[in-house]
Amino acid sequence: MVFYQPRVRSWEYPFPLFVGPVFSREAVVAPRRPRHYVMRTVYGLALLLLICTAWMILAGTQVIRNVGDMARFGAILFQILAPLQLAIILFLSAIQSASSIAVEKDRQTLILLLMSRLTNSELVLGKLFSSLLNNGVMLMTSIPILMLIVLFGGTSFDQVGWTVAVTFVTALAAGSIGATVALWREKTFQTLALVALSIVFWLGLAAGIGLIQQPILGVNAQWLSSALSPISAIFAASNPSIASNWSIEVFPYLVFATMLTILLCGLSVLRVRKWNPSRDVRPGQQEDYSGGIDLFTGEVKLDSDGNPLTPSEASHHVDDRSRTVNQESRRVWDNPVLWREMCTWAYGRKILFIRMAYWLMAAFVFIALYSLITSGEATRATADSSVSIPVVAGPLAPFMLVSLVMVNALAVTSITNERDGRALDLLRVTDISPKEFLFGKLFGVLYVAIDIVLIPVVMCLYLSLNGAITYENLLYLLFAILVLNVFVSVLGIHCGMSYGGSRQAIGVSLGTVFFLFLGIVTCMVMMVSFTGNVEAQLTPFLACIVGGAVGLYVALGWNTPSPALALASAILPLAMFYSITSLLLENYLSVILVVAFTYGFTTTAMIMPRLSEFLVSTGRSKISENE
């Protein structure tokens, strides 16, 4: 008697069966890639660099008298690095998990996985954990570095352990959000935009619940807010009192994030083959080839006597089908690229759903600004006149960041979708000039995202009319919004044309926008936390400025090197440092002049080389296709 023995694939062992070969292959192949070691090395060095910079700021501006000063330094430093790491892991987990699945859809390779013998759980969990593999390695790299901060005093190993636990479950929850949305939506821009809005809605909802003074369903609103918010959880985990309060301040969030991950993964496992393939990639599945029905009009075919034709009588060659056109064809403009962006549903009809979600989030931000104005907090002067950050920047700054990220995502996916659909090859052999293609994409992106660009402008006008912003600062702010939107649009197009792999292009483009904002926030927090003397801190930040310049040049000019991009990468971090110090000292005119010059020059450096020829990476190499 011969018993059936299931075929065992060598790469499945020793990983759990429910994860499957997708994750197993990634775990085996990832260590063979040089970037696997480069990423964790750069991340570890960046954390060490921030520690050294903070120490130089403290030692260069203050006198350390006793062990208590060292302990206070260690406590403040840990409470800066822990939220910073959470923000990095949260962003990378959501974007990488979403883009890994979205790119599979664009390349039509997800259908091949659905046709294989992979179960739903192997497919969903395999893609999720494989996209989070690098983030897990980065998190493990940070553990010994965070433990070094314990040597300063003021922190404990309990804080390190709870901080890593909060960051880990947040990465799983963010990755589950990205994977679920990517499996649900068809277009890459829809996926990235919904993921960004979902993350911001999550954080905003938790913060909004904390403002409620009355219990919600018998539960304290402040406790519920802490249980839902990763920001509150990471601050609680980095607090020295965590050893005695972990069951109240951190453990509820760990349970919530774990349950959210399980629910989203379960939903994806149940619906993955219902959502995919979508109707857009299944043309003709409802066609009836019965012969007695016209394939185009759906009308029943009749013979000369007016009787319906039988299938045998109606059978004829496929070329004999005819169709009557009832309307005139649309006239295409001289620039067909711009016409397609503005006059067709190039990004899918479901983009209306993205607009509705964005408008809903804008309504919540308007409510927050209205409450600040009516309570008088928006016009109240800051107690410390040396460091003045407006209160309205709390809800407005994250919303503007989301707007810039969405515009950038729209720009980069406008190129990657063309490449994955093999349309760039056709465009390069037509008579469309590089200038027509470039400006067609740029103006088309700004047209499609017109509401995303204008809603922050309307908010600034509302604040100015109510006295929260002076008219002079309003002009500065509106000009900065215009410059930054053009910059992120050109950045997305530049990255989409420079990188052959769609995942790499999306990651570099969105990552550049996010890390520019995150670097600015981190720099401001370190300046304010350790000393109020922001004028004498250039020397401690020189290493960060040099590192930022190198990283920016690698992102922008590694595949398309040019002296202009090298110069722009060198001056942009230094200019941003000067802008931050000027902003904290309320020299707003200096800020807008420096921002306009640096970002304008960087935009010009990215766009000028592409006006004369098609500098587009086709992504045909084996390395880029298997990124």
Q: What is the pLDDT of residue 288?
A: 43
pLDDT at 475: 92
Q: Which residue has the higher pLDDT, 481 or 291?
A: 481
pLDDT score, position 317: 44
Indicate if the pLDDT at residue 8 is higher than 60.
Answer: no
- 390 and 500, same structural domain? yes
- Asked if residue 556 is part of any domain, the answer here is yes
Q: Rounded to an integer, what distance in angstroms lies between the CA atom of residue 524 and that of residue 577?
A: 9
Residues 77 and 62: their CA atoms lie apart, in Å, by 15
Q: Which of 13-17, 29-33, 363-367, 523-527 has the lowest mean pLDDT?
A: 13-17
pLDDT in tens, 311-353: 555 544 444 445 555 556 677 788 888 888 888 888 877 788 8
Question: pLDDT tens digits, residue range 583-595?
Answer: 877 788 888 999 9
What confidence tens digit (pLDDT) does each residue in 72-128 have? 888 888 988 999 999 999 999 999 999 889 888 888 888 888 888 888 888 999 999
Contacts of 480 (CB under 8 A, 6+ apart): 592, 595, 596
Residues 416 and 499 in one domain: yes
Q: What is the pLDDT of residues 407-450, one digit of tens each?
A: 999 999 988 888 877 777 777 778 888 888 889 999 999 999 99
User: CA-to-CA distance for 352 and 298, rounded, in angstroms?
Assistant: 30
Which domain range does residue 253 map to?
15-277
65 falls within a domain:
yes
Nearest to 496 by CA among 241, 70, 105, 188: 188
Of 223, 245, 277, the domain-final residue: 277
Question: Looking at the domain assignment, is residue 271 inside a domain?
Answer: yes
Q: Does residue 496 sit in the same domain as residue 586?
A: yes
What six digits make up the tokens of 272? Answer: 């993955």
| Cα angle: 386, vertex 391, 393; to 5 degrees | 100
Residue 621 dihedral angles phi and psi, to the nearest 5°: -70, 155
- The verdict on 264 and 367 lying in the same domain is no
pLDDT of 241 above 50: yes
Residue 336 maps to a domain: no
Q: Are residues 65 and 169 in the same domain?
A: yes
277, 310, 335: which is the final residue of a domain?
277
Domain boundary among 234, 257, 277: 277
Q: Tens digits of per-residue pLDDT, 363-418?
A: 989 988 888 888 887 776 544 444 456 788 888 888 998 999 999 999 999 888 88
What is the percent of the chain where pLDDT is above 70? 82
Q: Is the per-residue pLDDT at 301 higher than 60?
A: no
Q: Indicate if 273 and 355 belong to the same structural domain.
A: no
Q: What's the domain count of the chain?
A: 2
In a domain, 380, yes or no: yes
For residues 513-540, give the mean pLDDT.
74
pLDDT in tens, 600-622: 999 999 988 888 777 666 554 43
Is 504 within the bounds of a domain? yes
pLDDT attached to residue 25: 83
Task: State if pTM tops 0.95.
Answer: no
In this structure, are 215 and 93 located in the same domain?
Answer: yes
Q: Looking at the structure, tell me whether residues 448 and 358 fall in a common domain.
A: yes
Q: What is the mean pLDDT of residues 132-154?
A: 91
Residue 471 lies in a domain: yes
The one-letter amino acid at 154? G
Grouping H, G, I as helix, E, B as strand and the rest as coil, residue 343 is helix
Query: Distance (Å, rounded) from C-alpha 246 to C-alpha 165?
Result: 12
* Calpha distance 139→39 (Å, rounded): 11
Do residues 234 and 383 both lie within one domain?
A: no
| In 429-501, alpha helices (H) | 434-448, 450-465, 471-498
Q: Are residues 267 and 368 in the same domain?
A: no
Sign of CA dihedral 78, 83, 84, 88: positive
pLDDT > 60? residue 282: no
- The C-alpha atoms of residue 487 and residue 596 are separated, in whole angstroms, by 10
* Cβ–Cβ < 8 Å for 510, 570: no
For residue 626, pLDDT beyond 80 = no
Query: By the 8 A CB rule, do 252 and 219 touch?
Result: no
Asked if residue 338 belongs to a domain, the reply is no
End-to-end alpha-carbon separation of the chain, Å? Answer: 46
Give residue 280's identity as a one-letter amino acid code.
D
106 & 222 share domain: yes
**Structure tokens, 326:** 């009832």
Contact 500, 624 (CB under 8 A): yes
Residue 203 has pLDDT above 70, yes or no: yes
Residues 254 and 380 in one domain: no
